[in-house]
Amino acid sequence: MTAAQISAGSLIREWRTRRRMSQLDLAMEADISQRHLSFVESGRAAPSRDMVLHLAEQLSIPLRQRNQLLLAAGFAPSFSERPLDDASMAPAMAAVETVLKAHEPFPALAVDRHWNLVSANAAIGPFLANVADASLLKPPVNVLRLSLHPGGIAPRIVNLAEWRTHLLERLKRQNDATADPVLVELERELRAYPSGLKGSRPAPVEPNAIVHPLKLAHGDAVLSFISTITVFGTPLDVTLSELAIESFFPADEQTRAVLMRLAKERTDAAKG
């Protein structure tokens, strides 16, 4: 069923329920009467364009779904959706490449809304080494599938059970926020992969830890990373709003030293 076939009121009610808000909660946040909101949700009152956008803002609905809500209410979408290679996206994509390059010698990558790889810097090499299933590296490369698939990076993740739990929780939160059917199916697929527990429980979190690192076997070393996510702060384009950069930082001196050495080796190889 398309957005145009679903009433705006039912979509608002669906998102309100997803956000675990009562009618009174949303009415108070939106500074409207609960009676009026009830009429909108039931279809007894047609919301204006401004009201649709106002309610969407209070519900933190993603831009893609705001467009769907506008269509359901009988209005044209407010937010453009252009491919990443569109000429108008060049400044934003140049900014992404600048961030990725500036993060070297540490790994960083950019992904789209479905966790497909958009771009990565030269330091991502250790993550892609010894991938048994070559199909996982064929575009579009889904970084979550690559991470947790038994033919991908998973066999080299030392703390696979903990990292798998972390990634699946992130994906679940994203599904709760966006209700994207592709991501719902991806989560179902990933949960069917081996957990890495082998009958044991995940290792307890260290009392003094501030983050849960990714520990990746690389040759004779175990590289330990912490990561951050960067998104555009005020996007008005759907595609751009869904782009994210994940930057990995060394969590210990050994990892830093290995990454610095690998960077030097790449530079020396480029010089010939």
Mean pLDDT by 10 residues, the chain (272 residues): 70 95 97 96 95 96 95 96 95 96 97 96 89 95 96 95 93 89 95 73 54 89 95 92 96 96 91 78
Alpha carbon 87 to chain centroid, angstroms: 24
Residue 38's region, left for phi above 0, alpha for psi from -120 to 50, else beta, is alpha
Q: Domains of the chain: which residue ranges?
A: 3-72, 87-271
Look up residue 26 and give its amino acid. L
Q: What is the DSSP string of 43-58?
A: TSSPPPHHHHHHHHHH
pLDDT at 271: 83
Own/partner contacts of 230-239, CB < 8 Å, gap of 24 or more, are 230/99, 232/92, 235/63, 236/63, 236/79, 236/80, 237/63, 237/79, 237/80, 237/81, 237/82, 237/89, 238/63, 238/64, 238/67, 238/79, 238/80, 238/81, 239/81, 239/82, 239/83, 239/84, 239/89, 239/112
Tokens of 169: 């929780």
User: What's the whole-model pTM score?
Assistant: 0.86
Q: Domain 87-271 carries which CATH code?
A: 3.30.450.180
Architecture of domain 3-72: Orthogonal Bundle (1.10)
